[in-house]
Chain A
Amino acid sequence: MTNKWIIAAALSAALGLPAVAQEKVKLINVVELSGAGATAGTNWKNGIDLAVADINAKGGIMGRQIEITHYDTQTNPGNTRAAVQRAIDEGTYAVLGPVFSGPIGASMQIAQRAEIAQIVGGEAAGLTRQGNNYIFRTSLSQAAAMPKIANYLKNTVKAGSVAVVWVNNDFGKGGRDAIIPELEKAGIKVAADVSTEQGQADFAADAIKVKNSNADAVFVYLNEEESARFLTAAKQQGVTKPMVGETTLLGAKVISLAGAAANGVKGHVGLSIDAPIPAFQEFGKKFQAKYNYASDHNGLKGYMAVYMVKWATEKQKKFDKKGVADTLRGATITPADEPGILMETTIEANGDLDRVSFLAEVIDGKQVINATLPKIKP
Chain B
Amino acid sequence: MVEFIAYLIAGIATGAIYALAAIGFTLVWQTSQTINFAQGEFVMLPAILVLLAIKVLGAPVWLGALIGIAAFILIFGVGFKLFVVDPMIRHGVLPLAIATMALSIIMKEGAKDGFSAEAQTFPSFVPSQTIQVFGASISLQHLAIIAVAFAVIFLLQWFVGGTRLGRQMQATAQNPTVARILGIPVERMVLLTFAINAALAVVASVLISPIYLAKFSNGEVIGLFAFIAAIVGGFNQVRGALVGGLIVGIVDSMAAAYVSSSYRLAVPLVLLVVIILLKPEGLMGRKEERRV
Chain A residues with CB under 8 Å of B7's CB are: 205, 208
Asked, given contacts A199-B221, A208-B257, whether A229 binds B212 with beta carbons under 8 Å apart, the answer is yes
Cβ distance B227 to chain A, nearest Cβ, rounded Å: 14
Fill in one digit per residue for A206-250: 1 if any B CB lies within 8 Å of its CB, else 0.
Answer: 101100100000000000110011001000111000000000000
B112 adjacent to A205 (CB under 8 Å): no
B3 adjacent to A212 (CB under 8 Å): yes
Number of interface residues of B (CB under 8 A): 38
A206 adjacent to B212 (CB under 8 Å): no
Say whether A279 faces chain B, with CB atoms less than 8 Å apart. no
Contact of A236 among B130, B212, B215 (CB under 8 A): B130
Find the B residue at minimum CB distance from A165: B261
A204 adjacent to B13 (CB under 8 Å): yes
Contact of A206 among B6, B13, B130, B256 (CB under 8 A): B256
Cβ distance A141 to chain B, nearest Cβ, rounded Å: 24
Say whether A314 faces chain B, with CB atoms less than 8 Å apart. no
Most buried by B among A209, A236, A253: A236
Number of interface residues of A (CB under 8 A): 32
Asked, given contacts A209-B256, A257-B121, whether A225 binds B13 with beta carbons under 8 Å apart, the answer is no
Chain A residues with CB under 8 Å of B139's CB are: 236
Contact of A228 among B119, B218, B222 (CB under 8 A): B119
Contact of A253 among B118, B128, B260 (CB under 8 A): B118
Chief secondary structure at chain A's binding surface: helix
Chain B residues with CB under 8 Å of A195's CB are: 260-262, 264
Most buried by B among A39, A199, A225: A225
Cβ distance A164 to chain B, nearest Cβ, rounded Å: 11
Say whether A133 faces chain B, with CB atoms less than 8 Å apart. no
Say whether A194 faces chain B, with CB atoms less than 8 Å apart. yes
Cβ distance B126 to chain A, nearest Cβ, rounded Å: 13
Say whether B211 faces chain A, with CB atoms less than 8 Å apart. yes
B222 adjacent to A201 (CB under 8 Å): yes
Chain A residues with CB under 8 Å of B3's CB are: 208, 212
Asked, given contacts A212-B3, A228-B213, whether A205 binds B256 with beta carbons under 8 Å apart, the answer is yes
Find the A residue at minimum CB distance from B11: A205
Cβ distance B103 to chain A, nearest Cβ, rounded Å: 18
Say whether B32 faces chain A, with CB atoms less than 8 Å apart. no
Contact of B212 among A202, A224, A293 (CB under 8 A): A202
Say whether B252 faces chain A, with CB atoms less than 8 Å apart. yes
A204 adjacent to B253 (CB under 8 Å): yes
Alpha-carbon separation in the docked complex, A38 to B139 (Å): 31
Chain A residues with CB under 8 Å of B220's CB are: 199
Asked, given contacts A205-B252, A205-B257, whether A236 binds B137 with beta carbons under 8 Å apart, the answer is yes
B262 adjacent to A168 (CB under 8 Å): yes
Say whether B19 faces chain A, with CB atoms less than 8 Å apart. no
Say whether B217 faces chain A, with CB atoms less than 8 Å apart. yes
Alpha-carbon separation in the docked complex, A87 to B138 (Å): 52
Alpha-carbon separation in the docked complex, A39 to B120 (Å): 12
The residues of A with any CB-CB pair to B shorter than 8 Å are 34, 38-39, 42, 168, 194-197, 199-202, 204-206, 208-209, 212, 224-225, 228-229, 232, 236-238, 253, 256-257, 259, 293
Given A208-B3, A238-B130, A257-B119, 15 additional A-B pairs, CB 8 A: A195-B260, A201-B212, A201-B221, A202-B212, A204-B13, A204-B14, A205-B252, A205-B257, A206-B256, A209-B257, A225-B213, A228-B119, A236-B130, A257-B120, A257-B213
